[in-house]
Amino acid sequence: MTATPAIEVDHLTKKFGDFTAVEDVSFAIEPGEIFGFLGPNGAGKSTTIRSILDLIRPTSGSCRVLGLDSRKDAVEVHRRIGFLPADLALYPNLTGKQTLEYLGNIRGGVDWARVDELTERLSADLSKKVSEYSSGNRQKIGIIQAFMHSPEVVILDEPITGLDPLVQVEFHGMLREMADAGGTVFLSSHTISEVERVADRVAFIRRGHLIAVEKMAELQDKALRRITLEFAEPVEAHHFEGLDGVRDVTAEGATISAQFEGSMAPLLKAATDNDVLSVSSASVDLDEIFLEFYRDEIKAAGDEVDDDAPAREVA
């Protein structure tokens, strides 16, 4: 029997007047999974999250969390999940400890031993007023409040903002521990390097449209690779353009550089028509794969909107 998805988004559409922030988005996240949600600012990530949390109401479609309707069962859903918003706001005159006590009391009480554990792991100082915290220390308070009641699902929107690298490593360890124990992590970010470290699967969203949902391992396996060919004499780029899987061919003197996907055989066959001195190849990093999804989407959509225009962030 298939387990009930921890989070299920079904044909979600959200419009603000004439502007469509999210259109016909569907995906499901399984228990025990770390799910990355990637897109540039203004792509629709926060709108999707707020719809899942019933902070805003979808124009059409639905969301379910732990098998519960996120709108009809919102109180029960909120009791069982943890949430860290991208625009975290805290009471400036309360200390970190007072903030967590206040939020814990709203929940009906939390195990303070759990708070102490999280505080130690994140090297947080709960004694200062929120107004005296740096952005990174405020973020630590936000992370603690999202985890302190041992939720079954955590939804995190740009969670590592302001955190130093060592704290980031500890935080990512917390995410993996939660998933290994059967919990579920929904991790929204515009930075693929963050998601790459921990995610099992990743979804790409752009301009409110879901472009792809990929297993991270498969995404890495099918990554584009870059090849550099050194010849005894200058060679023109057109000898390699149009070959299966080959793109972005450039020529500089006796050096040819290109990106390729799949088999290297067609490219090497063309190369042997000339006097090859050396061949070197390396994988393209996932940031470039991230951008590649958006290039493909731009072509499919005809690039109706100017990419150089400022991104429009929607509630």
- Kindly report the number of other CB atoms within 10 A of residue 12's CB atom: 24
pTM of the predicted model as reported, rounded to 2 decimal places: 0.76
What percent of the chain has a predicted confidence (pLDDT) above 70? 87
How many Å is the maximal CA-CA distance in the chain?
Answer: 76
Q: Which residues contact 217 (CB under 8 A, 6 or more apart)?
A: none
In the numeric block, the tokens 């584009």 are attached to 224
Q: Which residues contact 235 (CB under 8 A, 6 or more apart)?
A: 229, 251, 254, 256, 274
Structural domains in the chain, CATH included, are 7-216 (3.40.50.300), 224-283 (3.30.70)
What percent of the chain has a predicted confidence (pLDDT) above 90? 63
CA dist 220 and 197 (Å) reads: 12
Look up residue 309 and give its amino acid. Answer: A
> Of residues 118 and 212, which shows the higher confidence score?
118
pLDDT tens-place string over residues 51-67: 999 999 999 999 999 99
| Residue-level pLDDT at 309 | 37
CA dist 312 and 121 (Å) reads: 36
Contacts 24+ apart (CB under 8 A), 256-263: 256/228, 256/229, 256/231, 257/226, 257/227, 257/228, 257/229, 258/226, 258/227, 259/224, 259/225, 259/226, 259/227, 259/284, 260/224, 260/225, 260/227, 261/222, 261/224, 261/225
If you ran DSSP here, which 8-state letter would residue 189 be given? E
| Residue-level pLDDT at 41 | 82
Average pLDDT, the chain: 87
Rounded average pLDDT over 215-226:
72
> Of residues 257 and 95, which shows the higher confidence score?
95
If you ran DSSP here, which 8-state letter would residue 307 be given? T
